[in-house]
A = this chain, B = another copy of it.
Amino acid sequence: MKKLLLLLALCAGTAMAQEALWSGSQVTSPVVNADGTVTFNVVAPKAIKVEVTGDFLPPQRIETAMGTYEAPGVAELTEQNGVWTYTSAALAPELYSYSIRVNGMSILDPSNVYVNRDIASLTSIFIVTSAKGDKGDLYQVNEVPHGDVAKVWYDSPTLKMKRRMTVYTPAGYDKGKNYPVLYLLHGAGGDEDAWTTLGRAAQIMDNLIATGKAKPMLIVMPNGNTNCQAAPGAWSKGMYTPSFMGSLDQPAVASMDESFPDIVKYIESHYKVAKGKKNRAICGLSMGGGHSFATSKRYPDMFGYVGLFSAGLHIGGDNQGKSFYQLLQGSPEVQGQLAKLFAAKPFYWIAIGKTDFLYQQNADLRRYLDEKNYPYEYLETEGGHIWRNWRIYLTEFAQKVFK
């Protein structure tokens, strides 16, 4: 009753008009129905055409002079009384991204406040789940103990700047000790926010730890762009437009792998974690897979577990027209580093999608490992270079480390 009165007081006068400059929508969208179909509702009385496009629709194959590529599918909404509607087929459990097109112009779903940023694109998101333990269930917030997520500024003497990273500490951290640490790296165009938004890392870890499938561990998500202090908007460069190249086209004083000990040093001096390679794992997607490859071979005694997720592998020197296998064969330096790494016997894990454009690189690396008789585990999934795969890879890798 007290609250009702307060509420009435707060609703009176112009509070609403003043506080929320723009009112919310009159419809609910999206609606995840009990049968797994999803209904989209958009109020657009003046529109001529309203569509929805997203990764929940079967992709279209687009033929261009540059080759064939897949683009997200598009479905048309139908209109009644100014409200446009579309109901999907029943969808498999997953986190989906979509946007609405009104007369050809892409917008977010006006009724959905849940948004992810991928480089410079904002998209609306929703989750479909139907059973305990399915992917949707794993990516949503469940009634389980939650870890804390912090944006932390650490000192990187190697890169000569203070830098921001995201640190997940598992539920119960305040009472525990000697936690192992998984270093989880993003791809090109990403930043220290990517794994907790697009990657749902906190939800995946909460849910895996709560069901005993993964050990309680810290997840450390640094920024892999060595010339940036932090994600766009979070440092003194201001509110610039993020770009795939934007984070890489300025010189940096050192590489990510060279500077990695700064991160480990900060974590091990500020958190209740266990030291030694048995308590450290490194993994990452795309460029972050490349960083995991490079850091683990540069510091062969640092990590007991290495995970390459759709890794973008590279080796310096004259790479013109050479396969990754040829580059490996042509670099005594890298071969020497890898020999030292193999001697330290880390658990080595490689995962990639069947249609990933980096498939051959990773096949080349597997060929090299096979020739050296170095054991590794390998996971091949459907699809390409997409977050849907990277969430699966984190889920799998997190269950394999520190056991």
Which of A's residues lie within 8 Å of B, judged by CB? 1-7, 9-25, 28, 44, 46-47, 53-55, 69-72, 97, 99, 102-108, 110-115, 117-123, 125-127, 140-143, 145-153, 162, 164, 171, 174, 187-189, 232-236, 238-239, 241-245, 248, 255, 270, 286-287, 290, 312, 314, 316, 319, 357-358, 361, 384-387
Contact = CB atoms under 8 A, between A and B. Distances in A.
A152 to B, nearest CB: 5
18 contacts: A3-B248, A9-B312, A9-B361, A11-B244, A19-B187, A20-B119, A22-B72, A22-B99, A28-B241, A107-B107, A113-B117, A113-B232, A113-B241, A114-B233, A141-B236, A143-B236, A148-B152, A148-B153
Each complex incorporates copies of this chain amounting to 2
B312 A6 contact: yes
A189 B148 CA distance: 23
A188 B7 contact: yes
5 A-B pairs with the lowest CB-CB distances in the bound complex, closest first: A13-B357, A150-B150, A24-B120, A143-B236, A107-B107
A111 B314 contact: no
B357 A113 contact: no
A235 B385 CA distance: 30
B17 A121 contact: no
Contacts of A5: 314, 316, 319
Given A141-B233, A312-B9, A107 B110 contact: yes
Nearest to A238: B140
Contact of A121 (B12, B23, B115, B242): B23
A20 B60 CA distance: 15
Contact of A97 (B6, B7, B21, B123): B21
Given A20-B119, A21-B97, A357-B15, A6 B290 contact: yes
Given A22-B106, A149-B151, 12 more contacts: A1-B316, A5-B316, A6-B287, A11-B244, A15-B286, A21-B72, A21-B123, A107-B107, A113-B117, A113-B122, A113-B232, A115-B122
A18 B386 contact: yes
Nearest to A127: B239
Contacts of A164: 146
A288 B297 CA distance: 53
Among A232, A242, A312, residue most surrounded by chain B Cβ atoms (within 10 Å)? A312
Contacts of A53: 22
Given A21-B72, A108-B107, A244 B113 contact: no
A17 B69 contact: yes
Nearest to A4: B248
